[in-house]
């Protein structure tokens, strides 16, 4: 990744500023292109609160970052230029960075570089939007073909950009406030009303809503009044070239784990929503049932505190001490994709005990590596995990339930291997190439429908 020189964000002329305020000019442009519009050639992606350059598993970086990077790079491989706008969080960030050939990341100055949490960002949306609009104003009309916003904060920016640029807005919520608030972890604060209202507005305005699963479509329709005709299911994928089966013993050697260990793993941000405490409590229950297991059990936790977990960054270590399992716990920092491969391959079972999960990329990645997953039966996890075939779904978060499920997989080698083989096949049904193709098809459909609608408006305006 290398910095790209660019003009300052304020460097647009008076004529350019006037141009972006001319709805009739925008309408004429749309009508003139609609007859031969096939697919986008340049896409604007908005990711306000977290940069695709950040390491997943730290801060607010997670599955959404992986989603943006993987789909953006694959769009570029298909000949689509992609520009990703994100908020600058350091004075050392260059204005523009090349993430991959055909993919630029633009850092927009909006508020102080440091010290702003995700819940503080609504106050900076005006500044961020101004930076996005000024960038487009330096180009000829029609520079971007579509805007795809990720998370509700980006949707607020995309809503205005859509109206100014005369292009469709496609929106991915990734998580929904009303859904999260209905399944809060103990001690986790509810999502604020400003987010709920903001999501309502974006859902009403977006030309297409991308949902990870059919269940998320139902949530959008039932909880937010979304139009089913504008809502599309596009499952996320997994990097099938990187996450592959491999030697369990080699992975354990790389991590310094004994060959005969029983390894339970968790990977992700350490916060109440992700519920790594469920794995620790289940491990304590397994040791209570069979004290001899202590000499072989290893509980791997890979990730760093984020979100509400920052309020008590050592809470998980303290829980381990109170449960008397410190000796079997191994904490690893947030891992690169290659590091995660070692974690997944080394494990007998990967736990995904989240209280809410719109899909669960960790579950797919682990299965692609041939490791069965034990997951909570929430959100998109029943799609990511084939219950009884590639792993097990647990209908709750109780220690006994989870100890039973983990024991049924990790302590029964024949069952573990059977699930692991099926897990590889299940994961192969999901790929980022398939996700990207579905997104491009959605962009095309949304753009043609948007242009036809604007043509009808122009016809009424001109008589």
269 belongs to an annotated ligand binding site: yes
62 belongs to an annotated ligand binding site: yes
224 belongs to an annotated ligand binding site: no
180 belongs to an annotated ligand binding site: no
Instruction: Looking at 185-309, list the stretches that DSSP marks H as alpha helix, in order from N- to C-terminal side.
Output: 193-205, 214-224, 248-255, 276-289
Three-class secondary structure of residue 174 per DSSP: coil
Instruction: Looking at 256-305, list the stretches that DSSP marks H as alpha helix, in order from N- to C-terminal side.
Output: 276-289
61 belongs to an annotated ligand binding site: yes
Which helix (H) or strand (E) segment holds residue 108: the answer is: strand 103-108
365 belongs to an annotated ligand binding site: yes
How far apart are the C-alpha atoms of 237 and 240, rounded to whole Å? 9
Alpha carbon 308 to its chain centroid, in Å, reads: 18
Give Dmax over CA atoms of the chain in angstroms: 84
Which helix (H) or strand (E) segment holds residue 44: the answer is: strand 42-46
What is the per-residue DSSP string for 386-451?
-BTTTEEEESS--HHHHHHHHHHHHT-HHHHHHHHHHHHHHHTT--HHHHHHHHHHHHHHHHHHHH
175 belongs to an annotated ligand binding site: yes
77 belongs to an annotated ligand binding site: no
174 belongs to an annotated ligand binding site: no
64 belongs to an annotated ligand binding site: yes
Tell me if 298 sits within 8 A of 261, measured CB to CB. Answer: yes
357 belongs to an annotated ligand binding site: yes
60 belongs to an annotated ligand binding site: yes
What is the per-residue DSSP string for 358-389?
SS-HHHHHHHHTT--EEEES-TTHHHHS-BTT
Binding residues: 49, 55-56, 60-65, 118, 151, 175, 195, 269, 274, 335, 344-345, 347, 357, 365, 371
Residue ranges of the binding site for UDP-N-acetyl-alpha-D-glucosamine: 55-56, 63, 269, 274, 335, 357, 365
Query: Could you tell me which residues are annotated as the binding site for 1D-myo-inositol 3-phosphate?
Result: 49, 60-65, 118, 151, 175, 195
């Amino acid at each position: 990744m290398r910095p790209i020189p660019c003009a300052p964000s304020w460097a647009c002329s008076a004529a350019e500023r006037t141009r972006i305020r001319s709805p009739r000019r925008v309408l004429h442009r749309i009508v003139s292109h609609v007859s031969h519009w096939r697919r986008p050639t340049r896409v604007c992606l908005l990711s306000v609160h977290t940069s695709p350059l950040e390491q997943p598993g730290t801060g607010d970086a997670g599955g959404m970052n992986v989603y943006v990077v993987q789909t953006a790079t694959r769009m570029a491989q298909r000949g689509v230029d992609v520009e990703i706008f994100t908020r600058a969080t350091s004075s050392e960030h260059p204005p523009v960075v090349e993430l991959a050939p055909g993919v630029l990341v633009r850092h927009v100055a909006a508020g102080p570089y440091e010290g702003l949490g995700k819940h503080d960002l609504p106050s900076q949306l005006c500044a961020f939007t101004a930076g996005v609009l000024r960038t487009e104003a330096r180009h000829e009309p029609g520079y971007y073909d579509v805007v795809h916003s990720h998370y509700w904060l980006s949707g607020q920016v995309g809503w205005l950009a859509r109206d100014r640029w005369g292009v469709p807005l496609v929106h991915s919520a990734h998580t929904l406030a009303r859904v999260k608030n209905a399944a809060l972890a103990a001690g986790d604060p509810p999502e604020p009303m400003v987010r709920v209202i903001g999501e309502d507005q974006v859902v009403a305005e977006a030309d297409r809503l991308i949902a990870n699963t059919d269940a998320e479509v139902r949530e959008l329709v039932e909880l937010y009044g979304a139009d089913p005709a504008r809502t599309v299911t596009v499952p996320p994928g997994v990097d099938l070239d990187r996450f592959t089966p491999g030697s369990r013993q080699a992975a354990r050697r790389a991590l310094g784990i004994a060959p005969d260990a029983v390894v339970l793993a968790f990977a992700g941000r350490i916060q109440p929503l992700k519920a790594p405490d469920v794995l620790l409590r289940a491990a304590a229950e397994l040791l209570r049932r069979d004290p001899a297991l202590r000499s072989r059990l290893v509980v791997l936790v890979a990730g760093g505190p984020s979100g509400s977990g920052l309020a008590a960054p050592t809470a998980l270590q303290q829980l381990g001490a109170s449960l008397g399992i410190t000796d079997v716990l191994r904490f690893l920092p947030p891992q690169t994709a290659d590091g995660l491969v070692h974690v997944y391959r080394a494990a007998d079972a990967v736990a995904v005990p989240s209280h809410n999960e719109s899909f669960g990329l960790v579950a797919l990645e682990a299965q692609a590596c041939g490791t069965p997953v034990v997951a909570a039966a929430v959100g998109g996890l029943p799609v990511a995990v084939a219950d009884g075939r590639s792993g097990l779904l647990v209908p709750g978060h109780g220690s006994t339930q989870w100890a039973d499920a983990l024991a049924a997989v990790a302590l029964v080698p024949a069952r573990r291997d059977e699930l692991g083989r099926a897990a590889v096949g299940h994961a192969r049904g999901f790929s980022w190439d398939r996700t990207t193709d579905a997104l491009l098809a959605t962009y095309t459909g949304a753009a043609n429908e948007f242009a036809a609608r604007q043509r009808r408006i122009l016809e009424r305006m001109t008589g």
